[in-house]
Amino acid sequence: MKKLTVYLKDYRKESVLAPLFKMLEALFDLFVPLVVAAIIDRGIAGGERSYILQMCGLLVLLAAIGLTCSITAQFFAAKASVGFAAKLRQALFDHIGTFSFGTLDTLGTNTLITRMTSDINQVQNGLNLALRLLLRSPFIVFGAMIMAFTIDFTCALVFVVAIPLLCVVVFGIMLVSIPMFRKVQAGLDKVLGITRENLTGVRVIRAFNKEESEIGEFDQRNETLTSLQKFVGRFSALMNPVTYVIINVATIVLIQQGALKVQMGSLTQGEVVALYNYMAQILVELVKLANLIISITKALACASRVEKVLEVEPGMVYPESGTVQGRTAVKAANGAEQGMSAPEPENSVRQTGNGAGVTFRDVTFTYEGAGAPSLSEISFTAKSGQTIGIIGGTGSGKTSLVNLIPRFYDVQEGTVMVDGRDVRSYAKGELLGLIGVVPQRAALFEGTIRDNMRWGKEDATDEEIWQALSVAQAKEVVEGKNGQLDFHLEQGGRNLSGGQKQRLTIARALVKKPRILILDDSASALDFATDAALRKAIREMEGSATVFIVSQRTSSIRYADRILVLDDGKLAGQGTHEELLETCEVYQEIYYSQYPDKR
């Protein structure tokens, strides 16, 4: 929680004024029993009606001042807690945005969503209550004890015994409850996980008629969470009855002692009533404090969970700018690597264009927690302006390979170089400024088509957008929509077909005119004619970017300058289509499985 207090620094004034006004309210509340005692002992006993009216007016005045202080305290507490939660949520969102793909894979989406929403809401509520009641309730409790001593020393000793016992109960239950509430939030993560999985995969669930199975699994996890919440709730519920027992026993002793002293004449009836009122105030405040402790316990558990995410290192270190020494060293290494590489056929190299060269040198990559490498000892060179096709069986490492180019992951061994520089020498955002990525799963965002197209280039003109749409074979898609570029896309592009979404995501990558274009199986929903037209348009694009095409179809990568064939994370072969048909068994197997009549 200490690390989170930094987000309260802009609300220091509110954080001080809220408890201050609450203590002022409490101070006026402490005078009420004395006023009531005076009414009984002097007004009622002496029959002084005017004095009774005066004291009643004083009680009304104390109530009005207390109400004003309470409303003011609530305002400042709300302002501080809401502002704190807003800053914390923004900081958490920004921090999550810095995570590498590996870190996100490790943490999981479900727990991050829970911590961003439920956990921060709990922290906000806990802070609001703490600013209003955390000082007020103890102030009333100990203030009532002190006021009791001003009335009668012997009777006040009852308070001295009762209050420490109450503190032991309250704080003992709090210490035991904190780890329990952490387990509750972890259980909520699991329920959220299966809910999210079911919502995103609802079509698959229905296609395989697995509704009953998924409902059963959800019921199981939900029941586990419910049982845990019930257990924590029962334990926390002990606080109220135990505190009531202690307070009521203390009240009985107090009334007994007070009655004896009234009979002896050493204590008035009004003073006994005042002592009883102070004990009643303690009871009320301890009930509030008990509920406050439960809320603060939840808030502390949730704050700890949020804090743990903020403590997670992004996973990748970026230099402030590419160092000259780094560039020189990498270029030298790149030259040595090219010297080791097998000579490329002359007809496979396009010497013109503004694309960036890419070199993999002895690259080995393993996902976090994986038992074996996804890529092993991969080496190849893609020259500027070339088109590189990547093909292989399912799970052969195609996507893993292209994800290393924009540095979505860091390699464990070897070097990935872009434009003669190690990708790790690029400043944050500098590398991605050169690369346009079209992922396997088309991802569009709620907003207009124009807004989505400008993700790569904020100042892109409509002319540039239409040009990119034309190359991506998406021009007729947009022209057929009401409003065209102003057509509103729903979240995830739900109001588009799979092929339309793929073409728009390709156009979005093309708008920024990248030097390297990565198409990660991004034409799987396109028919062969559209796929062929797309590849032709990309080849004829002005600027000739270096293009990486990941595909399951040999027709999609057949005319690439170089084809990389992956098999179980290893480079089974590289070369042109004709060369691979002669030398690579894996490529032959893939090709002839798709064109059996060519055997």
- Torsion angle defined by CA atoms of residues 3, 7, 10 and 12, in that order, rounded to the nearest 10 degrees: -50
Pinpoint the alpha helices (H) of 405-541: 449-453, 462-471, 475-479, 498-511, 528-539
Any residues with CB less than 8 A from the CB of 300 and at least 6 apart, and which? 1, 126, 178
Is the pLDDT assigned to residue 338 strictly greater than 50? no
pLDDT at 75 exceeding the cut of 90: yes
Half-sphere exposure in the Cβ direction for 583 (13 Å, CA): 12
Torsion of CA 437, 442, 445, 447, to 10 degrees: 100
Nearest residue to 174 via CA among 245, 236, 237, 244: 236
Tokens for 421, please give them. Answer: 């520089």
> Predicted confidence band at 326 (pLDDT cuts at 50, 70, 90)?
very low
Instruction: Name the band, by pLDDT with cuts 50, 70 and 90, for residue 520.
Output: confident
The average pLDDT across 127-146 equals 84
Q: What is the mean pLDDT of the chain?
A: 81
Report the alpha-carbon distance of residue 485 to residue 508 in Å, rounded. Answer: 12
pLDDT of amino acid 354: 66
Please determine, for residue 209, whether its predicted confidence score (pLDDT) is greater than 80.
Answer: yes
Per DSSP bridges, beta strands 413-418 and 570-575 are unpaired
pLDDT at site 71: 92
The yes-or-no verdict on residue 57 having pLDDT over 50 is yes
Supply angle C-alpha 480, 482, 485, rounded to 5: 85
Q: How far is CA 554 from the centre of its chain?
A: 40
Does 329 score more than 80 pLDDT? no
CA separation, residue 270 to residues 96, 97, 256, 328, 454 (Å): 62, 65, 15, 92, 77
The rounded distance, in Å, linking the Cα atoms of 55 and 40 is 10
Closest C-alpha to 253, from 161, 141, 352, 348: 161
Task: Kindly indicate the confidence band of residue 72, based on its pLDDT and cuts at 50, 70 and 90.
Answer: very high
pLDDT category at 346 given cuts 50, 70, 90 is very low
The predicted structure's pLDDT at residue 542: 62
Residue 342 has pLDDT above 60, yes or no: no
What percentage of residues in the chain have a pLDDT greater than 70?
A: 93
pTM of the model: 0.66
pLDDT tier at 321 (50, 70, 90 boundaries)?
Answer: low
CB of 8 closer than 8 Å to CB of 18: no
Q: Is 458 exposed, middle or buried (0-12, 13-18, 19+ CB in 10 A)?
A: exposed
**Beta-sheet pairing, 447-448 with 488-489:** antiparallel
Measured between its terminal Cα atoms, the distance across the chain in Å is 68
Provide, rounded to the nearest whole percent, the portion of the chain with pLDDT above 90.
Answer: 4
Looking at residue 323, what is its pLDDT? 47
Mean pLDDT of 447-458: 86
Model confidence over 533-562: pLDDT tens digits? Answer: 887 887 777 667 888 988 888 888 888 888
List strands edge to edge, sheet with 516-520: 435-438, 516-520, 546-550, 387-392, 562-567, 570-575
Which pLDDT score is estimated for 82?
92
Q: What is the DSSP string of 255-286?
A: HHHHHHHHHHTSS-HHHHHHHHHHHHHHHHHH
Q: Which amino acid is at 133?
A: L
| For range 500-514, the mean pLDDT | 86
Q: Which letter does DSSP use for residue 232 in this model? A: H
334-351 burial, b for 16+ CB within 10 Å, e for fewer?
beebeeeeeebeeebebe
Token couple for 237: 């519920």
Tell me the mean pLDDT in the region 515-531: 81
- 157-185 pLDDT per residue, tens: 887 888 788 778 877 877 777 778 778 87
Residue 32 has pLDDT above 80, yes or no: yes
Of 63-72, 164-173, 183-192, 386-395, the range with the highest mean pLDDT is 63-72
- CB burial of residue 263 (10 Å; 0-12, 13-18, 19+): exposed
Question: For tokens 């996890």, what's the residue?
Answer: 221
What distance in Å separates the CA atoms of residue 208 and residue 214, rounded to the nearest whole number? Answer: 11
How far, in Å, CA of 237 to CA of 132, rounded?
Answer: 22
What secondary structure letter does DSSP report for 100? -
133 — pLDDT class (breaks 50, 70, 90): confident
